[in-house]
C-alpha cells in the first residue's frame, strides 16, 4: 500500500512538472508545430516536436532548466525552415 501511494505521489509530481513546462513553453511564444513534453523520470524533461527558428532551440533548455525540480532537459526537436513544404 505504501509503495502504491509513493508511486502515485511521484506520478502527480511529474504531471505537475509537465504542466509547468508546457505553460513556460507557451509563454515563450515559440514558432513550433506540436511540441510534446514528457517527464520520463523525476527531474528529467523530454521535449519533442518541430521548431521553425534555430534560436528557439537554444532558448528552451535555458528557460526550462530554471523551473524548480527540473534537473535535466532532453531536447529532441526537428528544425524546419519557415515556408518549407
- Identify the burial level of 28 via C-beta atoms within 10 angstroms of its C-beta, where 0-12 means exposed, 13-18 middle and 19 or more buried: middle
Mean pLDDT of 17-31: 90
Question: Backbone phi, then psi, for 72, in 5-degree steps?
Answer: -145, 135
DSSP H helices, 1-85, are: 2-27, 54-64
Q: Which residues lie closer than 8 Å to 56 by C-beta, 6 or more apart?
A: 28, 30, 31, 32
Given a cut of 60, whether residue 2 has pLDDT beyond it is no
pLDDT of the residue at 81: 78
Q: What percent of the chain has pLDDT over 70?
A: 92
Q: Which class would CATH give 2-79?
A: alpha beta
pLDDT of residue 84: 62
Under DSSP, the state recorded for 63 is H
Question: pTM here?
Answer: 0.82
For residues 53 and 2, which has the higher predicted lDDT (pLDDT)?
53
* Per-residue confidence (pLDDT) for residue 65, from 0 to 100: 92
Residue 18 · residue 39 · CB < 8 Å: yes
Mean pLDDT of the chain: 87
Amino acid at each position: 500500500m505504501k509503495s502504491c501511494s509513493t508511486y502515485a505521489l511521484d506520478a502527480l509530481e511529474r504531471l505537475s512538472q509537465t504542466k509547468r513546462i508546457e505553460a513556460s513553453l507557451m509563454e515563450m511564444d515559440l514558432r513550433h508545430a506540436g511540441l510534446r513534453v514528457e517527464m520520463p523520470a523525476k527531474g528529467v524533461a523530454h521535449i519533442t516536436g518541430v521548431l521553425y527558428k534555430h534560436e528557439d532551440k537554444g532558448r528552451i533548455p535555458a528557460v526550462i532548466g530554471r523551473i524548480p525540480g527540473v534537473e535535466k532537459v532532453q531536447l529532441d526537436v526537428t528544425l524546419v525552415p519557415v515556408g518549407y513544404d
